[in-house]
Amino acid sequence: MVISYHKPYKMPQSTFDEIVEKYIEMNIAHPFMEGNGHATRIWLDLILIKELLKDTLTDEINNRELFLKGIDTSCYYEEIE
């Protein structure tokens, strides 16, 4: 079995399904038990943010009202009163 370590880097990553396929190929190319999981999750998070979540994030980091709304929304979904 010949594994191409360059294959994941050449794969598209513009949709959720493409990112999942790329993630799978990355795990095949780098199958280490320790450490690889942490690095791969960080890598996956960066791809998801860059490709899919970029329009949902905000640069209004000093907006107190928006910050408190986020906390309220989070508590609602976690059923915390």
pLDDT at 80: 52
Q: What angle do CA 36, 52, 46 make, to 5 degrees?
A: 30
Q: pLDDT tens digits, the chain, 81 residues: what are they?
A: 555 667 777 888 888 899 889 888 887 777 666 666 777 888 888 888 888 887 777 777 788 898 888 888 877 666 655
**Domain ranges for the chain:** 7-78
pLDDT at 9: 73
pLDDT at 5: 63
- Round to whole Å and give the CA distance between 78 and 10: 39
The shares of helix, strand and coil residues in the chain, as percent rounded to the nearest 5, are 65, 0, 35
Q: Is pTM, for the whole model, over 0.85?
A: no
pLDDT at 12: 84
Looking at domain 7-78, its CATH architecture is Orthogonal Bundle (1.10)
**Among residues 49, 53, 70, which one has the least CA distance to residue 61?**
70
